[in-house]
Amino acid sequence: MPPKNPSASIAAVALHAGVSVATVSRVMNDMDGVRPLTRDKVMASVTALGYRMNHLARNLRTAASRLLLTMVPDVGNPFYSEIVRGIDSVAREHGYFVMLCDTGAEAGRESAYFDLLRTHRADGAICLDPDTVQHALANESNILPWVACCEFDPAIAVPYVGVDNYRAAGDAVRHLIARGHSRIGLINSDQRYRYARERQRGYLDALQAAGLQARPEWRRQVDSLDYDAGKHATLQMMTLPDAPNAVFAVSDTLAIGALSALRQLNKRVPEEVAVVGFDDIAIAAQTWPALTTIAQPMRALGETAAQLLLQRLADPQATVQGVLLPHRLVQRESS
Amino acid sequence: MPPKNPSASIAAVALHAGVSVATVSRVMNDMDGVRPLTRDKVMASVTALGYRMNHLARNLRTAASRLLLTMVPDVGNPFYSEIVRGIDSVAREHGYFVMLCDTGAEAGRESAYFDLLRTHRADGAICLDPDTVQHALANESNILPWVACCEFDPAIAVPYVGVDNYRAAGDAVRHLIARGHSRIGLINSDQRYRYARERQRGYLDALQAAGLQARPEWRRQVDSLDYDAGKHATLQMMTLPDAPNAVFAVSDTLAIGALSALRQLNKRVPEEVAVVGFDDIAIAAQTWPALTTIAQPMRALGETAAQLLLQRLADPQATVQGVLLPHRLVQRESS
DNA sequence: GTGAAAGCGCTAACAG
DNA sequence: CTGTTAGCGCTTTCAC
């Protein structure tokens, strides 16, 4: 039973092994230029003393925390949590840990978190917050290494990864049109999000291209992605004299709320009202009826974001890039 | 427009203000014993230079990272993400940030994460992993500050917060019995979790107390909390010659999968088969039929865990405590 | 009330 | 191949 002393310092190990601290450091960092025999001696002392390196000290010296900040508007949303897993997996692969921060999409909290970069508590950040709040951070982007994920403004010189929201929304609407629906409603989220604005544009253009009406009453804006928000929006929309016979929701959670509302209204889905969502979160396949939706490669979105950030950290002056990942329509029962 | 230089050191500020680094440090830490005039001078220089303290250095000096590790089996599960929010909110209130780690309930990964404590990269940890994997860490619990949340073994000398799983499961079963069901199935999760074992015990005892049969075929064990796992378990259970007319699932996700299976089987819920879940995640109110479930105070669970940990950090030798929070039956349409 | 100076534990030149 | 040494930027006695 070796005496466990996690607080033993590198000096203690050096003493025990009869070598210098520099040598211990070399061994601990797997650097070459150490005689195997010496290395073994050091390792023996390390286990004998139960030594663990103090990362605080190393961090100060190397000026790196090996922590990646991830700022999400809402960790509770299944869409975001899947992305976080993607980020986490590649971060860990590269020896980084992730610090998860729930910003509630508030600019204030976001910029407070950004201080973590300025104070060297994190090496880089991935931001999923509204592009409107990203703008505030754009000026410092050259100094502070961060990338945008899902939400991004191509005009900002910040690496990003996302999907083509305009085209994706168009695909959803065109699908609905192809299924014979003509009065198509939109449940949209917070317009501070560029994705919300882009999807609305896609919706509108697709409608127009098909020569269909795009009545303003058929568009509802909600300020959260809760199930209830989608439900209420749908309930309201359906009281309209000439209510939509199909609805496109910009998020699965909203769409699921819509399903719930339609059930309450005794509307048959998709016969009386069709529903299409966005994201393809796990639950989308389990609803009744199962949700037709635009799938986003959530995992890959997170992984790519982490890769971009890691790239940027490795080479700060590398050219800024933007990546668009493919989406696809997953047709189930609700349309 | 002040020259922003986040990498300015305390020495630069001292020079600029014409004071010593000690004084700057005092000002930065809001310590008293500094003349207001001096304080103002320093603050002026701080803003002039755009100084932000380097936390790496401070951390080394104070031997604290002000980071809390949170280890969850699966960040994607809505149950856990709500708890994480609770943790995050009180952590931030106290000047801590949280580092979220998805362990996949693997003992290996868990102990790797624990190294973050040993290497001073985190000050404390909150563990939501199976009590079976917690046992491995119990020995070091006196040295390494951590607390258990949701999953815990009262026998381990580690502070914990959770619910009375035994009683909660009994409540669910008694509710089903009261509604006239006699053949009650159980969809249980991974037995490495103490909560799974406790809930099973509660289920069994409640059945016995009512003089009802507890056939082994009516119990299904799944190895994940995915919707699909619940669905498949239910599908299998329902092929039984004398299938249950009610099922208690130890997690809402499992119960939702069950709902999906029953729909596929054309069984009316709750008339032909009633379903009760556990947790009361947000989606539970939106399913069809809306899910009856045992609600856990997820937010409070997370908040309490963080408080316990913070307490432990403030006073390492304080007595170990265990907290049980109340659960409650939320009756909706599925039973 | 303020300053000088000694480290925290590690890494990285630079010598040997 | 290994050792010596000078810091990283901050906090914290201990003087003044």
* Interchain pair B56, A54: CB under 8 A: no
User: β-strand B292-295 against B67-72: which pairing, if any?
Assistant: unpaired
Give CA–CA dist B75/A282, Å, rounded. 13
Give CA–CA dist A335/A272, Å, rounded. 10
Domain count, chain A: 3
Indicate whether B5 belongs to any domain.
Answer: no
B86 CA: distance to closest CA in chain A (Å): 11
Which residue from A4, A81, A260 is facing B75, i.e. has the nearest CB?
A81
Q: Is the pLDDT of residue B283 over 90?
A: yes
Are A176 and A271 members of one domain? yes
- At residue B2 the predicted structure's pLDDT band, cuts being 50, 70 and 90, is very low
* Interchain pair A288, B288: CB under 8 A: yes
Indicate whether B2 belongs to any domain.
Answer: no
Picking from A104, A52, A49, the residue whose alpha carbon sits closest to that of residue A80 is A104
A213 CA: distance to closest CA in chain B (Å): 31
Contact list, A97 vs chain B (CB under 8 Å) = 99, 101, 116, 121
Q: How many residues comprise chain B?
A: 335
Indicate whether A59 belongs to any domain.
Answer: no
Those of residues 205-234 in A touching chain B at CB distance below 8 A are 226-227, 231
- Protein-strand D interface by C-beta, 7 A: A 18-23, 26, 33-35, 37-39, 57, 60-61, 63; B 7, 9-11, 21-22, 25-26, 28-29, 53-54, 56-58, 60-62
- Interface test mutation site (partner B, options A9, A56, A142, max chain B beta carbons within 10 A): A56
Are A127 and A169 members of one domain? no
Domain containing residue B25: CATH number: 1.10.260.40
- Interface test mutation site (partner A, options B55, B71, B279, max chain A beta carbons within 10 A): B55
Q: List CB contacts of A80: < 8 A, sequence separation 6 or more.
A: A72, A73, A74, A128
Cβ(A287)–Cβ(A271) below 8 Å: no
Which residue from B65, B75, B99 is facing A84, i.e. has the nearest CB?
B75
Place of tokens 């003509």: A182
- Interface test mutation site (partner B, options A80, A120, A140, max chain B beta carbons within 10 A): A120
Are B45 and B81 members of one domain? no
Helix (H, G, I), strand (E, B) or coil at B179: coil
Report pLDDT digits (tens) over A218-245.
999 999 999 999 999 999 999 999 999 9
Are A291 and A302 members of one domain? no
Cα separation values, A140 from A118, A132, A193, B226, Å? 10, 15, 21, 41
Cβ(A254)–Cβ(A281) below 8 Å: no
For residue B212, the model assigns a pLDDT of 97
Average pLDDT on A301-321 reads 91
Which of left, alpha, beta for B242 (phi over 0: left; psi -120 to 50: alpha)?
Answer: beta
What angle separates helix A252-264 from helix A227-238, to the nearest 10 degrees? 50
- Kindly compute the dihedral angle of the four CA atoms of residues B39, B45, B47, B53, in this order, to the nearest 10 degrees: -80
How far is residue A78 CA from its own chain's centroid? 10
How far is residue B70 CA from its own chain's centroid? 8
Q: What is the mean pLDDT of chain B?
A: 93
Are A303 and A254 members of one domain? no
Neighbours of B274 (CB within 10 A): 24
Indicate whether B19 belongs to any domain.
Answer: yes
Backbone angles phi, psi at A326, to 5 degrees: -75, 145
Average pLDDT on A187-207 reads 97
Indicate whether B118 belongs to any domain.
Answer: yes
Residue A261 identity (one-letter amino acid) = A
DSSP symbols for B114-137? HHHHHTTS-SEEEE-S-HHHHHHH
Are B157 and B305 members of one domain? yes
Q: Is the pLDDT of residue B54 over 80?
A: yes
For residue A287, the model assigns a pLDDT of 94
Residue B10 identity (one-letter amino acid) = I
Are B170 and B291 members of one domain? yes
Cα separation values, B104 from A90, A269, B110, B200, Å? 15, 37, 9, 22
Give CA–CA dist B270/B334, Å, rounded. 5
Kindly provide the b/e burial profile for residues B158-174, where b requires at least 16 CB atoms within 10 angstroms of the residue's own CB.
Answer: bbbbbbebbbbbbbbbb
Q: Is the pLDDT of residue B318 over 60?
A: yes
Indicate whether A60 belongs to any domain.
Answer: no
Report pLDDT digits (tens) over B284-300.
999 999 999 999 999 99
Are B157 and B304 members of one domain? yes
Q: Domain limits at A271?
A: 165-295
Give CA–CA dist B243/B227, Å, rounded. 21
Which 3-state string (H, E, C) describes chain A? CCCCCCCCCHHHHHHHHCCCHHHHHHHHCCCCCCCHHHHHHHHHHHHHHCCCCCHHHHHHHHCCCCEEEEEECCCCCHHHHHHHHHHHHHHHHCCCEEEEEECCCCHHHHHHHHHHHHCCCCCEEEECCCHHHHHHHHHHHHCCCEEEECCCCCCCCCCEEEECHHHHHHHHHHHHHHCCCCCEEEEEECCCCHHHHHHHHHHHHHHHHCCCCCCHHHEEEECCCCHHHHHHHHHHHHCCCCCCCEEEECCHHHHHHHHHHHHHCCCCCCCCCEEEEEECCHHHHCCCCCCEEEECCHHHHHHHHHHHHHHHHHCCCCCCCEEEECCEEECCCCC
Are A113 and A256 members of one domain? no
Report pLDDT digits (tens) over B18-52.
999 999 999 999 999 899 999 999 999 999 999 99
The stretches of chain B forming alpha helices (DSSP H) are 10-17, 21-28, 36-49, 55-62, 78-93, 107-118, 131-138, 165-178, 194-209, 227-238, 252-264, 298-314
Cα separation values, B172 from A96, B186, B215, Å? 43, 11, 18
Predicted TM-score of the model (pTM): 0.93
Place of tokens 């290497």: B119
Q: How many CB pairs below 8 Å do chains A and B form together? A: 134
Give CA–CA dist B114/A261, Å, rounded. 46
Give CA–CA dist A126/B312, Å, rounded. 32
Give CA–CA dist B51/B16, Å, rounded. 11
Cα separation values, B131 from A59, B121, B143, B308, B324, Å? 33, 24, 19, 18, 16
Picking from A84, A110, A109, the residue whose alpha carbon sits closest to that of residue A97 is A84
Which residue from B78, B88, B119 is facing A53, i.e. has the nearest CB?
B119
Residue B102 sits at the chain A interface (C-beta within 8 Å): yes
For residue B36, the model assigns a pLDDT of 95
Cα separation values, A71 from A80, A114, B188, Å? 10, 9, 34
Helix (H, G, I), strand (E, B) or coil at B101: strand
CA atoms in the 13 A half-sphere facing the CB of A234: 31
Report pLDDT digits (tens) over A15-53.
999 999 999 999 999 999 899 999 999 999 999 999 999
Contact list, B82 vs chain A (CB under 8 Å) = 76
Cβ(A202)–Cβ(A218) below 8 Å: no
Enumerate the β-bridge partners of residue B188. Answer: B221
Contact list, B263 vs chain A (CB under 8 Å) = 288
Report pLDDT digits (tens) over A44-97.
999 999 999 999 999 999 999 999 999 999 988 999 999 999 999 999 999 999
For residue B1, the model assigns a pLDDT of 38
Domain containing residue B131: CATH number: 3.40.50.2300
Indicate whether A220 belongs to any domain.
Answer: yes
* Interchain pair A283, B256: CB under 8 A: yes
Report pLDDT digits (tens) over A100-151.
888 988 888 888 888 899 999 999 999 999 999 999 888 776 678 999 999 9
Tokens of B150: 């949701």
Picking from B92, B88, B203, B73, the residue whose alpha carbon sits closest to that of residue B151 is B73
* Interchain pair A120, B263: CB under 8 A: no
Contact list, A85 vs chain B (CB under 8 Å) = 75-76, 102
Helix (H, G, I), strand (E, B) or coil at B96: coil
Cβ(B154)–Cβ(B162) below 8 Å: no
For residue A1, the model assigns a pLDDT of 39
Residue B268 sits at the chain A interface (C-beta within 8 Å): no
Indicate whether A291 belongs to any domain.
Answer: yes
Are A37 and A121 members of one domain? no
Residue B263 sits at the chain A interface (C-beta within 8 Å): yes
Residue B48 identity (one-letter amino acid) = A
Are A147 and A211 members of one domain? no
Are A261 and A202 members of one domain? yes
Q: Is the pLDDT of residue A2 over 70?
A: no
Average pLDDT on B11-15 reads 94
